């Protein structure tokens, strides 16, 4: 259920989803600076970017 809510949030409220992704990315200690930068750039893509981060980047909004 949480995944469905995150996907809908990423599609319809992208600016909020992007901010939540960036907060999560910056706070992660398992990523290097380059990976953090790349994930921030990837999540800019409307709708699909945050979804990719959730599914492939082992990320979360909260």
Instruction: For 40-53, give the DSSP string.
Output: HHHTTSTTHHHHHH
- Mean pLDDT, the chain, rounded, equals 84
Predicted local distance difference test score (pLDDT) of residue 61: 67
pLDDT digits (tens, 9 = 90+) for 22-49: 999 999 999 999 999 999 998 888 778 8
DSSP state of 14: H
How far CA 10 is from CA of 17, 42, 48, 59, in Å, comes to: 5, 13, 7, 13
Calculate helix-pair angle for 14-27, 33-42, nearest 10 degrees: 170
Quote the pTM value: 0.74
Q: How far apart are CA 29 and CA 44, in angstroms?
A: 21
């Amino acid at each position: 259920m949480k995944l469905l809510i995150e996907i809908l949030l990423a599609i319809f409220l992208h600016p909020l989803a992007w901010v939540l992704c960036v907060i999560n990315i910056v706070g992660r200690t398992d990523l290097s600076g380059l990976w953090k930068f790349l994930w921030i750039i990837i999540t800019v893509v409307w709708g699909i970017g945050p979804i990719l981060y959730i599914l492939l980047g082992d990320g979360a909004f909260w």
